[in-house]
Amino acid sequence: MLSIPKRPIREIVISEPDLQVALSHLQGLPFSKTKGMPEQWGREWVLQCLREALEQLPKGAIGERSCVQFGPSLWALVVPFGIDLAGADHQDGRLQVWVLTRPVGTDPLTITSV
């Protein structure tokens, strides 16, 4: 019987500044679950939302340039670890989450065709 080797699961990391941006964004929203929480609890809640969102991706689909929403106006862009650091060895196999935010909402009265 021929067995197909499984790809190793790549570690996914997030930098603390990205995590803080996500938490600050959520705390600034009205009716936010993280408002009033101790900061450590809010941090853990954001991490849990991120983990759950990444787990929702189809098996084997997560990789470089994957993007998934993990909160209101929050997205996780998965890139090779350290790709933004000059001279960094981003060939170590780890992946990193960059947090993307949308600080404004849609105003249906002021839209433009693209």
- Residue 71 belongs to some domain of the structure: yes
Q: Are strands 74-80 and 67-71 parallel, antiparallel or unpaired?
A: antiparallel
- Residue 6 belongs to some domain of the structure: no
Positions of E strands within 6-103: 12-14, 67-71, 74-80, 95-101
Positions of the chain with pLDDT under 70: 1-9, 59-61, 64, 88-90
Q: Do 21 and 46 meet the contact criterion of CB atoms below 8 Å apart?
A: no
- Residue 112 belongs to some domain of the structure: no
- Residue 53 belongs to some domain of the structure: yes
This prediction has a pTM of 0.79
- Residue 47 belongs to some domain of the structure: yes
What's the confidence (pLDDT) of residue 89? 64
Q: Domain total for the chain? A: 1
Of 96, 32, 87, the closest CA to residue 66 belongs to 96
Range of the domain at 63: 12-27+37-101
For the stretch 2-22, pLDDT in tens is 665 555 567 899 999 999 999
